[in-house]
Amino acid sequence: MRIMYLVPGPMGRSSAGQAELERRGALLKQYAGPGTEVGIVDVPQGPASIESMYEEYLSIPATAQRAVELEQEGWQAIILGCYGDPGLDALRELVSIPVIGPGEASALVAASLGHRFSIITITESVIASTERQIRNVGVGEKLASVRVVGIPVLELHHDRERTIRATVEQGRRAIEEDRADVLIVGCMSMGFLEIAEAAGQQLGVPFLNPARVALKFAEALVGAGLTHSRRAYHVPPKLATGKVKSAAELLHA
Amino acid sequence: MRIMYLVPGPMGRSSAGQAELERRGALLKQYAGPGTEVGIVDVPQGPASIESMYEEYLSIPATAQRAVELEQEGWQAIILGCYGDPGLDALRELVSIPVIGPGEASALVAASLGHRFSIITITESVIASTERQIRNVGVGEKLASVRVVGIPVLELHHDRERTIRATVEQGRRAIEEDRADVLIVGCMSMGFLEIAEAAGQQLGVPFLNPARVALKFAEALVGAGLTHSRRAYHVPPKLATGKVKSAAELLHA
Amino acid sequence: MRIMYLVPGPMGRSSAGQAELERRGALLKQYAGPGTEVGIVDVPQGPASIESMYEEYLSIPATAQRAVELEQEGWQAIILGCYGDPGLDALRELVSIPVIGPGEASALVAASLGHRFSIITITESVIASTERQIRNVGVGEKLASVRVVGIPVLELHHDRERTIRATVEQGRRAIEEDRADVLIVGCMSMGFLEIAEAAGQQLGVPFLNPARVALKFAEALVGAGLTHSRRAYHVPPKLATGKVKSAAELLHA
Amino acid sequence: MRIMYLVPGPMGRSSAGQAELERRGALLKQYAGPGTEVGIVDVPQGPASIESMYEEYLSIPATAQRAVELEQEGWQAIILGCYGDPGLDALRELVSIPVIGPGEASALVAASLGHRFSIITITESVIASTERQIRNVGVGEKLASVRVVGIPVLELHHDRERTIRATVEQGRRAIEEDRADVLIVGCMSMGFLEIAEAAGQQLGVPFLNPARVALKFAEALVGAGLTHSRRAYHVPPKLATGKVKSAAELLHA
Amino acid sequence: MRIMYLVPGPMGRSSAGQAELERRGALLKQYAGPGTEVGIVDVPQGPASIESMYEEYLSIPATAQRAVELEQEGWQAIILGCYGDPGLDALRELVSIPVIGPGEASALVAASLGHRFSIITITESVIASTERQIRNVGVGEKLASVRVVGIPVLELHHDRERTIRATVEQGRRAIEEDRADVLIVGCMSMGFLEIAEAAGQQLGVPFLNPARVALKFAEALVGAGLTHSRRAYHVPPKLATGKVKSAAELLHA
Amino acid sequence: MRIMYLVPGPMGRSSAGQAELERRGALLKQYAGPGTEVGIVDVPQGPASIESMYEEYLSIPATAQRAVELEQEGWQAIILGCYGDPGLDALRELVSIPVIGPGEASALVAASLGHRFSIITITESVIASTERQIRNVGVGEKLASVRVVGIPVLELHHDRERTIRATVEQGRRAIEEDRADVLIVGCMSMGFLEIAEAAGQQLGVPFLNPARVALKFAEALVGAGLTHSRRAYHVPPKLATGKVKSAAELLHA
């Protein structure tokens, strides 16, 4: 099966970003099961990183456009490469192949592994939106807490050890103070630094890397022949009735 | 006080649209209390109408940009002119003056008038997102139902009588079958056609026009000297730390 | 428009109380918008202050009786002047003009300003009933906590600075320990001492004075032509069927 | 043990009412377990029947006063004789012996007998307050529905067969349409007409008479040596601190 | 009335266990009301104590078998003698007399005595299942916390004073940190040591002994002529249709 | 990877049952991804089919015992082959490899495909327990309804066309009356008859076969290196402390 990881920002614009894209692509290949071809692609326009709802929304138009193309190119599932799942519902309106939100998928898998999970993410600015996201996924009553390491996305790479230490510290507090029994890394950059894998060994509870889990969830859906319901995610009416010919026209219709 | 009604789409692009903008501006002036100056403005880019989550997201970038300018121009509150409140959280991240979402404001006011309210809106494609919106506002347990007239936004004006009849029919079923005791019109175009006012007389329950209610809510907030909490709606970190100089730069930062 | 603030107790019985009534009336005039006439009136019988459910109930018969008269005198809305909203449902059964509960109105407005609000009130004896009140308003999931300054109502005036200090202390703990991002003063006496205004400056989050907010909410309802639903607040059957001629007779019917 | 059933209205004012009081007292004696002395008493003032929140509130002052006396007279538990449990919290603030609300007790017992219960009560005017009552008891998620026979309290006795027929009809709909598996009669007058006993035989599900259940619940609490928590139902502060000498003074304090 | 306390394990296998059975039987006789005959019986097979879900399940087959016999022997109610209520639903499927779960009954009674209750139980291994149990009873929103003394069941007897001290300590923290106003002992062995009675005196809140409360609840149900709904707890279809002749055959059907 | 499907009953006792076991094993091989070895095994003792909670409990002891052996034999995950997930928590207490409950897994996957799902299962006797199961999984707010075809498990095979017709009929009502947008087959026998696949084509919404989905979920967990949390599913204390040497001893410890 062919699964594409879609980065909702122009990561490849710089050479460092291009290298990071390739590094992530290589990790995804490691995570993939036998028989899975996994690609990675970014979009030409969007915010450098996503740390606010405004940046989430800025990322959606170009990403949705790219998702439509990926379906036309024959990919069988798309992983929306941001933990906040920005525009997940819109992408599902526009394509018929499964679109996996790493935030949604990791929350659902976490719900099967314990009774209460906590999310360790980047900055205080995303706590409230993450809580709302999990409630909307439908497993809000299993959310123990959202805790932050207090390191901006673009600085996470500079000192991986510091990020791991801060994650272990917050994970420990989530377990002891918030009674979490499962943890999730709430940021794809932290995911691809394999912070969950490193911190999980020290904490003794399942610690989910959303990149890895999203890929497994995508494989599961494609393998089961399942995709989202069209009664839940309607084709936009102007498209459904032929008033416009493509999603792209909706912006100017 | 000075309150601006911000249409999140390029309504004034056509001459008919320009006339409609003016008609709505005139109604808002009627709704305004003594001492309130109310303006109306649209944005240069965006979808012709909003009937899907994709179109909601498409409307946000230009609208957010305009909101920042309106604050700089000295307006004291902004009404985000779409019932779905698209990007309400993002606008609040970017400006410090109150931003009123008609969906949020009318749901909160409805909660004070009865025990269960229903929303009568346009097409089936927005039912699920409206339910989620109301749950996120925090009054989900008072939502009796979301019902639709089944008429696309851009056709509502063609036959106002038909829209009223369909609204009365759905309102009656909301009252009798879903036990609603308060109704809300879930679409600004229906609002400015004063469908609620016409249908409410026949139904015998309070029927809220979100345009009118949003303006009153804006007047209340400005009059009370209140605006949204910065601990709830954080300034985007890159802006807060000076990494970028303006909201506009975030798209390309 | 003409809005009456109805004190559910015999505040004006003493000369000090009479002076306080007048002081509150003057503040309400300051809070009122252009075109609003606001009055204040007490009732001949009831508890000196309300710090228990028993006292809430004791206040209702005389207050309800007065509300009926106020409607007959042509007032367009009534503010029920106790944060606990005692008998709010009963008053709505008896009159057709809007009856604003300061507790209900401030909770609904707070829900629009942030994600989680805390209420700072007087004594431990009212915590549980305040929590129940907010749940019944319908925004219980947004309630972060109810905290108390531990000062009886009748002593609040003696040392306003102490009340402010205690409020700032509890507000800070609500923000830091309970993750509140909006605060409400949960007592009208604290409201009219403008504790919220004083403490809010030190705390950096919106802090609602329920007296001010209730007046703005009343202006909004009257301005929008809205009142409570008769399908939610039924006229008492004996009155509706003419078995008794007035609300007053229900006590002895 | 000595348990008093306290009617929150002046039932004994007329000779017919006096006879009804005696009839109810005789039934309670039948319901009582071995070793239980059960009395019945009314209050000098209050509404003739309770079909609105206003009438609920009107009943409380005299009833609370009587409850205080009953405790002083050595009764060991009080049953508050109205299904709506008016002022249950206030009575618990004022006395230390158990106060049983028939609505609360029957809802809790119903929760142990099935998964979803419905309440069959008198008139539409009490549906919303009954739903709120059950939510506040804490078992709202087990409430299937509140249905009404549409007969005013004071007419129930005229045609017991009609009341039974209407109850069977609504009970059947509760079972089939609302998926109730347990039923409760939501009115003490219906209770003492033994409508539940008559209708239950035809419906094949447990049907609770709140008079009978409240007495059994009272016996259980007294037998277990339990009463309500003073940390939940605080003595009114003015009483606790000695500022007033008795509950009666609170009205004029 | 005749009520049997059914121990879901082979307590009487050893002579010490036999003595404990007799001691518990004697206490139950003390707790019983006038006119109640109360017996105690164990089962031939099952775990020595129940500290995990696996042990809960191991206890059910023999216990269910015994329950069927007890009904045939003319007992009028069965108390399932484990706080976790293991197999409560299965027993209700198999017999028509009331089956009282001490966990369920004490949670429901606690809900009538205060606003928030905590459960003090044995070991961390049962916290999650106890929380789930209370949610399934339907009063989860009133559960303040589950706290543990950290003493295995089979050691509780060795040092009753230590168990009381640990219970007082956890009870105090439940009151102060979790805002509990009612407490329940979450283990029948602690119940029959009368830990609740001893600790309650020091803590000043109602503290429920589930053994005592379950017996009172059983007396109440039998006294009111009530049992569980057959629409909630269906006879197993193979039994209902006569495909098997007895519950015992279901294991091998 | 090696995944075992564990039938919690003695299916292979008869030759017809043995054939069915083999048929199911062959289907599982079809469902398996590349690199997955999937086995199927039953247990020596247990009910013929599971249509009541009593039968659920009867199935657990032998199944748990077998699960322990399967882990020792080197299997990497176990699928508990009954939609009701009987004893899922107990199995997780006893083994460290992932144990997948088809009910849990399919509900979580359904939650990612739409907003509201319905379960189509066998007989009325399991509706309430299925609703409780889904609530305990944590996605209860997404459950639209549980509907039944009214055919006992052991008769499903006799007339597959009738089962499909009944499923389509109930699925249609779930979509239209209960607003489901995703469906799940709530019975493994229906699953292995591929009723979901047949009915889904006619209904136009995703229809989950729990056998297929459970296998995909198992592959996802093993592929991601995840298993359940030991802080959520504790090793039974007697085992953890060495008081007994094996799970088998717990029955007689």
Residue pLDDT, tens place only, C41-90: 999 999 999 999 999 999 999 999 999 999 999 999 999 999 999 999 99
pTM, two decimal places: 0.97
Token pair 């601190």 is found at D241
* D197 CB-near residues (< 8 Å, 6+ apart): D207, D209
Partner chains of E (3+ C-beta pairs under 8 Å): D, F
**pLDDT at residue E253 tops 80:** no
The whole-angstrom distance between A113's CA and the closest CA on chain F is 4
Contact E84, E129 (CB under 8 A): yes
Q: Which 3 state secondary structure label does DSSP give C4?
A: strand
For B17, how many CA atoms within 13 A lie in the half-sphere containing its CB?
14
Say if residue A144 is exposed, middle or buried (CB neighbours under 10 Å; 0-12, 13-18, 19+).
buried
The residue range of the domain holding A65 is: 2-102+213-251
CA–CA dist D58, C91 (Å, integer): 12
Q: Are residues E112 and E186 in the same domain?
A: yes
Query: Is the per-residue pLDDT at D149 higher than 80?
Result: yes
3-state class (DSSP) for residue F120 = strand
Q: How close is the nearest chain E Cα to the Cα of F125, in Å?
A: 6
Claim to verify: residue A80 and residue A120 sit in the same structural domain: no
Predicted local distance difference test score (pLDDT) of residue B253: 58
Within 104-163 of F, beta carbons closer than 8 Å to A belong to: 104-105, 108-109, 111-116, 137-139, 141-142
Candidates B13, B51, B54: best to mutate against A (most CBs of A within 10 A) is B54
CA distances from residue C157 to C80, C120, C168 in whole angstroms, order as listed: 21, 16, 16
Write down the mean pLDDT value for chain B.
Answer: 96
pLDDT band at residue D199 using 50, 70 and 90 as cut-offs: very high
F126 and F92 part of one domain = no
Residues E117 and E186 in one domain: yes
B87's torsion region: left (phi>0), alpha (psi -120 to 50) or beta? left
Contacts of E80 in chain D (CB under 8 A): none
User: Do residue C110 and residue C132 come from a single domain?
Assistant: yes
pLDDT at C39: 98
The CB-based long-range contact list for F56-59 (8 Å cut-off, 24+ gap) reads: F56/E90, F56/F82, F56/F84, F56/F86, F56/F87, F56/F129, F57/E57, F57/E60, F57/E61, F57/E64, F57/E87, F57/E90, F57/F86, F57/F87, F58/E60, F58/E61, F58/E250, F58/E251, F59/F8, F59/F9, F59/F86, F59/F87
Predicted pLDDT of residue A56: 97
Nearest to A232 among F109, F181, F208 (CB): F181
pLDDT tens per residue, range B80-104: 999 999 999 999 999 999 999 999 9
**Nearest-CB residue to A53 (from B47, B55, B93):** B93
Compute the average pLDDT of residues E74-97: 98
Question: Are C239 and C197 members of one domain?
Answer: no
Of D85, C103, A48, which is closest to residue B251 (Cα–Cα)?
A: A48
pLDDT at D101 over 90: yes
Chain A residues 157-216 within an 8 A CB cutoff of chain F: 175, 181-182, 204-206, 208-209, 212-213, 216
Amino acid (one-letter) located at F5? Y
Give the C-alpha distances (Å, rounded to integers) separating C114 from B140, C213, E43. 16, 16, 57
* Per-residue pLDDT tens over the stretch C115-144: 999 999 999 999 999 999 999 999 999 999
Could you give phi then psi for residue B35, rounded to 5 degrees?
Answer: 85, 0
Q: What is the pLDDT of residues B52-73, one digit of tens each?
A: 999 999 999 999 999 999 999 9
| CB contacts, 8 Å: E212 with chain D | 224
Write out residues in chain F with pLDDT < 50, as ranges. Answer: none
Chain F from 22 to 61: CB within 8 A of any E CB: 45-48, 51-58, 60-61
Strands (E), chain C: 2-6, 37-41, 77-80, 99-100, 117-121, 143-148, 182-185, 207-208
CA distance A223 to D118: 45
Mean pLDDT of E152-156: 85
Q: Does C232 touch chain D (CB under 8 A)?
A: yes
Helix A102-113 and helix A210-224, axial crossing angle in degrees, nearest 10: 90
* pLDDT band, very low/low/confident/very high, at D251 (cuts 50, 70, 90): confident
What three-state secondary structure class fits D54?
A: helix
Contact predicate B60/B90, CB 8 Å:
yes
List of residues 6+ apart from A198 with CB closer than 8 A: A164, A167
Nearest in space to B6 (alpha carbons), one of B72, B85, B113: B85
Shortest Cα–Cα distance, F75 to chain A (Å): 18
Say yes or no: C195 and C121 in one domain. yes
Q: Are residues D80 and D204 in the same domain?
A: no
Helix (H, G, I), strand (E, B) or coil at F103: helix
Q: Which amino acid is at A134?
A: I
Q: Which of E185, C84, F143, B135 is closest to D141 using CA atoms?
A: F143
User: Which neighbouring-strand residues pair with C182?
Assistant: C117
SS3 call for A89 = helix
Share of chain E above pLDDT 90, in %: 94
| Complex ipTM tops 0.90 | yes
CA distance D9 to chain C (A): 9
If we measure between CA atoms, which residue out of D233, A129, C250 comes closest to residue B90?
Answer: A129
Residue D36 has φ and ψ, to the nearest 5°, of -100, 125
| Rounded percentage of chain E residues whose pLDDT exceeds 70 | 100
* Range B184-204 average pLDDT: 96
> Which of F133, F176, F184, F226 would best serve as a mutation to test chain A binding (most A beta carbons within 10 A)?
F226
- In this complex, do D220 and E109 lie within 8 Å of one another by their Cβ atoms? yes
Whichever domain contains B167, its CATH number is 3.40.50.12500
What is the pLDDT at residue C69? 98
My answer on whether B85 and B149 are in the same domain is: no
Instruction: Say if residue F108 is in the same domain as residue F177.
Output: yes
The model's confidence at residue E251, banded by pLDDT at 50, 70 and 90, is: confident
Q: How far apart are CA F103 and CA F190, in angstroms?
A: 13
Task: Please count the structural domains in chain A.
Answer: 2
Helix E15-31 vs helix E210-224: angle between axes, to the nearest 10 degrees? Answer: 50
A218 shares its domain with A204: no
Distance CA(E14)–CA(A158), nearest Å, equals: 66
Amino acid at A130: T
Of all residues in chain D, the percent with pLDDT exceeding 90 is 93
E215: confidence class by pLDDT, cuts 50, 70, 90 = very high
Kindly identify which residue of chain A lies nearest to residue F105, measuring between CA atoms: A112
Quote the strand ranges of chain D, DSSP E. 2-6, 37-41, 77-80, 99-100, 117-121, 143-148, 182-185, 207-208
Nearest Cβ partner for B112 among C33, C104, C112: C104
- Whether the per-residue pLDDT at E157 is higher than 90: the answer is no
What is the chain C residue with the closest CA to B33? C223
In the numeric block, which tokens belong to residue E82?
A: 């484990």
Per the CB < 8 A criterion, the answer to whether E76 and E46 are in contact is: no
Q: What is the pLDDT of residue C42?
A: 98
pLDDT for res D158: 85
User: What pLDDT, in 10s, does the model give residues B119-136?
Assistant: 999 999 999 999 999 999
Is the pLDDT at C159 greater than 70? The verdict is yes
* Order of all β-strands in the sheet with C99-100: C37-41, C2-6, C77-80, C99-100
- The residue type of D20 is E
Amino acid at B83: Y
List the subunits that have 3+ CB pairs under 8 angstroms with B.
Answer: A, C
Say whether both C175 and C199 belong to one domain: yes
**Out of A202-211, C21-30, E109-118, E150-159, least confident range:** E150-159
Q: What is the distance, to the nearest Å, from the Cα of residue D192 to the centroid of all Cα atoms in its chain?
A: 11
| Pair E130, E102: CB distance under 8 Å | no
Beta-carbon separation of D64 and C52 below 8 A? no
Length of chain B measured in residues: 253
Comparing CA positions, the residue from A52, A53, A63 lying closest to residue A91 is A63
- Of E69-73, E92-96, E151-155, F148-152, minimum mean pLDDT range: E151-155
Which of D45, D46, D54 shows the shortest C-beta gap to C236?
D54
Q: d(Cα A169, Cα A174) in Å, to the nearest integer?
A: 9
- Tell me which chain C residues have a C-beta less than 8 angstroms from the C-beta of B114: 228-229, 231-233
| Nearest chain F residue to E136, by CA | F132
For C105-126, letters b (16+ CB in 10 Å) and e give bbbbbbbbbbbbbbbbbbbebb
Of B138, B141, B182, the CB nearest to C229: B182
Per-residue pLDDT at F253:
58
pLDDT at B219 over 80: yes
- Buried b / exposed e over C31-56, threshold 16 CB at 10 Å, is bbbeebebebbbbebbbbbbbbbbbb
Q: Distance between CA B211 and CA B220 in Å, rounded?
A: 14
pLDDT at B156 over 90: no
Q: Could you list the mean pLDDT of each consecutive 10-residue stretch along chain A, which spans 253 residues?
A: 97 94 98 97 95 97 98 98 98 98 98 98 95 97 97 87 96 98 97 97 96 98 98 96 92 72
Q: What is the CA radius of gyration of chain C?
A: 18
Could you report how far apart the first and last alpha carbons of chain F are, in Å? 35
Q: Among C57, C125, C253, whose Cβ lies nearest the Cβ of D57?
A: C57
